[in-house]
Structure 1
Amino acid sequence: MFAAYAARIDRDQPLSGLELGDRPEPERRPGWTTVTVKAASLNHHDLWTLRGVGIDEGALPMILGCDAAGIDEDGNEVVVHSVIGETGHGVAPGEKRSLLTERYQGAFAERVSVPVWNLLPKPEELSFEEATCLPTAWLTAYRMLFTNAGVRPGQSVLVQGAGGGVATAAIVLGAAAGLRVFATSRDEAKRRRAVELGAEAAFEAGARLPHRMDAIVETVGAATWSHSVKSLKPGGVIVISGATSGPNPPAAELTRIFYHELKVVGSTMGTKDELADLMDFCAATGVRPVIDSVLPLDRVREGFERMAGGELFGKVVVTV
């Protein structure tokens, strides 16, 4: 079957290890099923895989792609929850988690095999292209806002780095839930888009804000960390799920964190139940994922180049 896969690891030029071509059909395992992929979406996790993060050479070649929507073996339209437990049969409490492409072949292919437990019915209101955006980036944003930040309607949230999949999801979801959403970006066009999506205002990166925030959605890391800490109200919370600009800020800002009793909460993906709630929320409210571009699988390299260059606004989707 045709697939896009990591053939080599290159930490400096990750796309040099991306290849397209024929790969074996999915392996059959007890308790697993095969999904015919209709659409899949790109995540920064795919770039990290090409850099060798969370995977070693012995696991290659590895088909990329965490997120998929498609047709199961019984003809049902489904969405894949890509967090897989260590046993390969769901995620028990306290069980070590992995993602597709860390231990198992991924979704940038004609077919992908996953545990039966990891399938959820696709809402009929969502297209395959919309649905495949939800399981990683949008689920991450949903958990950041409503589980880990615990914000309520009327409270203020700053989303750092408007443009990426998680950031755009946080803007849309937050605005739809009645939050006062603010955003930052170095790019003027992305700031305008953030306001169009529902942000109350958008500012240049590092700019002085009109007031301090109840919560910060942080995915940028080193470049915005100090601004995030200084932008919080006393007792506020920074929820961090990524560090695309690097994991080591020049200063930890520890004095400000303890003096103002700030909370720093790590967040990774979300649960199957949270994904079900997110899909129901989208179906009921009309909220839809922000899609930067849709490409056929044989042009997936173009999507990777857009993501690596920071040019995108929303999610890149590939169709199979």
Structure 2
Amino acid sequence: MLAVYVEAAQPDDPLAALQIGERPEPEPADGWVVVEVEAAALNRHDLWSLAGVGLPPSRMPMILGTDAAGTVDGRPVIVHAVITSADWVGDETFDPKRTLLSELHQGTMAQRVAVPRANLIDRPDWLSAAQAACLPTAWLTAYRMLTHDSGLTAGDTVLVQGASGGVASAATALGKALGLRVWVTGTSEAKRAAALERGAAAAFEPGARLPERVDAVIETVGEATWAHSLRSLRPGGTIVCAGATSGFNPPAELNRVFFQQLRVIGSTMGNRQQFAALLALLESSGVRPAIDRLLPLTEAAEGFRAMAEGNVDGKVVLVP
């Protein structure tokens, strides 16, 4: 079957590691099923995989992709990407042995993918396969950040850093739907305008002084925006961090953290209950994922290049 995969990582030039070609058909284990993939979304995780981050040579070749929507015996489904250990009970995101598809098990950027039957979520008829494929990583992460981790309530103000990224664009639209006042930063006028169209109340250049301090910051950029995030919080405010696309080692500024009594909360993905709540919010609000471009698997390199260069607004989706 046709797939997008990595055979040998290239830490200094991740895009050079991208391969598109034939890979073996999936062979599902007990309790697993094969999904006919209709759409698979790109995430920053896939670029890390091409660089060998979290993916040792012993697990390669590895088909990329954590997210997919498709069918199983004609049943439209979305794949919940968090794979737990067999004996785990409770919130999937706290399982210390959890993995995502494309880490231990082959990923979703293929014509077919094997997944645990328990990871199938019924896809509602009001959601297209391409839209559904955007949800399991970026949109579910944004939903958990806003509802579970931030301490925000309707009427509060949240700053979303780097508003054109997958999680950030989702947080902008979902924040509006949740009744929050959403402010964003964006590196270009076009990205800021797009965020305003998605529901942001105001858009600023990176590092800009804000009109007032915010209740929480959605942080996925890391080193480039961390100091601005800390300075932008009101005393007692919260940074929710779910990524660091610009680097993992920002200046801590611990004096500001303890003197202002700031909270720094880590957030990763979401569980099935939160996925169900996300779907309910999308249905009631009419919000749908923003798709930057839809590409066939054979043109995956274009999507990876655009994501690596930051030239996307929303999600890149691949279709077999």
Query: Fold conserved (TM > 0.5)?
Result: yes
Letter in 2 for 1:216: V
* Contact 1:159-1:182 at 8 Å conserved across structures: yes
Q: Distance in 2 between matches of 1:186 and 1:110?
A: 35
* Contact 1:85-1:92 at 8 Å conserved across structures: no
Letter in 1 for 2:233: L
Q: Deviations over 1:188-211 (max 9, x none)?
A: 110111111111110000000000
Matched with 1:215 is 216
Letter in 2 for 1:104: H
* Contact 1:183-1:202 at 8 Å conserved across structures: yes
Matched with 1:318 is 318
C-alpha deviation, 1:263, in angstroms: 0.1
Other structure's SS at 2:317 match: strand
Q: Distance in 1 between matches of 2:187 and 2:40?
A: 28
Matched with 1:300 is 300
2:116 is the counterpart of 1:115: yes
In structure 1, runs of 5+ residues without a counterpart are none
Matched with 1:13 is 13
Q: Distance in 2 between matches of 1:112 and 1:91?
A: 24
2:81 is the counterpart of 1:82: yes
C-alpha deviation, 1:91, in angstroms: 6.0
Letter in 1 for 2:313: F
Q: Distance in 2 between matches of 1:137 and 1:260?
A: 30
C-alpha deviation, 1:28, in angstroms: 2.1
After TM superposition, the structure 1 = structure 2 runs for residues 42-57 of structure 1, keeping only pairs within 5 Å, are 42-57=42-57
* Contact 2:7-2:61 at 8 Å conserved across structures: yes
Aligned length: 317
C-alpha deviation, 1:90, in angstroms: 7.0
Q: Judge which range, 281-290 or 223-232, deviates more.
A: 281-290
Q: Distance in 2 between matches of 1:150 and 1:70?
A: 34
Q: Which runs of 4+ in 1 moved over 6 A?
A: none
Letter in 1 for 2:208: A
Q: Distance in 2 between matches of 1:46 and 1:307?
A: 10
C-alpha deviation, 1:7, in angstroms: 1.2
TM-score (norm 2): 0.97
* Contact 2:28-2:115 at 8 Å conserved across structures: no
Q: Distance in 2 between matches of 1:54 and 1:85?
A: 17
Q: Distance in 2 between matches of 1:15 and 1:29?
A: 31
Letter in 2 for 1:49: S
Other structure's SS at 1:126 match: coil
C-alpha deviation, 1:54, in angstroms: 1.0
Please tell me the root mean square deviation across aligned C-alpha atoms, in Å.
1.1
Q: Distance in 2 between matches of 1:104 and 1:91?
A: 20
TM-score (norm 1): 0.97
* Contact 1:35-1:111 at 8 Å conserved across structures: yes
Matched with 2:23 is 23
Identical columns (%): 55
Q: Distance in 2 between matches of 1:151 and 1:118?
A: 29
Q: Deviations over 1:215-241 (max 9, x none)?
A: 000000001000000100111000000
Q: Distance in 2 between matches of 1:162 and 1:310?
A: 11
* Contact 1:105-1:112 at 8 Å conserved across structures: yes
Q: Distance in 1 between matches of 2:69 and 2:224?
A: 34
Q: Deviations over 1:152-181 (max 9, x none)?
A: 110000000111000000000001111000
C-alpha deviation, 1:22, in angstroms: 0.7
Q: Distance in 2 between matches of 1:231 and 1:92?
A: 35
* Contact 1:71-1:78 at 8 Å conserved across structures: yes
Q: Distance in 2 between matches of 1:142 and 1:28?
A: 30
C-alpha deviation, 1:293, in angstroms: 0.5
Other structure's SS at 1:67 match: coil
* Contact 1:84-1:90 at 8 Å conserved across structures: no
